[in-house]
Amino acid sequence: MILMFALALLLIWSAPAWANPACAVCTVAVAASLEIARRLGVDDSVVGVWAGAFLALLGYWMIVWFEKKKWNFWGRDFLLIFLSVAMIGFMYISKLSYNPEPILIFFVDPFLFSVILGAVTLILANRFYQWMKAKNGGHAHFPFEKVAVPVVALALLSLCFYFYPLCQKANELYNF
């Protein structure tokens, strides 16, 4: 219950839709790399970080699409981000079993925890980039800063989970 409340509060910050948060090529590259990482035996908590970021990115793409269609309603951006991140539930229906463990103050499945942290990290990194850009007169500090800020934030979180894993290696779980 606490986890859902914390997630709801953090996702509320995603309410305003800014410019397109990522290019289509980057989105496809992240999606393809997730399965490759799992097959190479990368820890599921690291894969979860990038999966969560990918799902949040899909939510941002849905916001952009809704903007083009001029479909506006109260809570739209929050709802789209929340629903896109909640799509991780399909993995639990088809391939994963929910095994909650104590993590910090939460009692949650480690993979789900890393997915939520990945989504929140992407959202906060995009907000941080927008803040930095606004402080610089509406201009980026360097080329591709819009891409570099979220990637660096996600890479740092991935390194934390690499050295302090929450899950088993994917090849131990699925015997690839």
pLDDT of residue 3: 56
The answer to whether position 168 is within a domain reads yes
How far apart CA 157 and CA 51 sit, in angstroms, is: 13
The answer to whether position 8 is within a domain reads no
The answer to whether position 74 is within a domain reads yes
Q: What is the phi-psi region of residue 103: left when phi exceeds 0, alpha when psi lies from -120 to 50, beta otherwise?
A: beta
- Given a cut of 50, whether residue 170 has pLDDT beyond it is no
Residue positions counted in the chain: 176
The answer to whether position 6 is within a domain reads no
Q: Count of domains in the chain? A: 1
The answer to whether position 10 is within a domain reads no
Boundaries of domain holding 56: 18-174
The answer to whether position 98 is within a domain reads yes
| Cβ proximity of 120 and 49 under 8 Å | no
pTM of the model: 0.73
Residue range 14-57, pLDDT digits in tens: 555 444 555 555 555 555 666 677 778 788 788 888 889 988 98
The label of the residue with tokens 């839709």 reads 17
The answer to whether position 73 is within a domain reads yes
The answer to whether position 100 is within a domain reads yes
How far apart CA 118 and CA 99 sit, in angstroms, is: 19
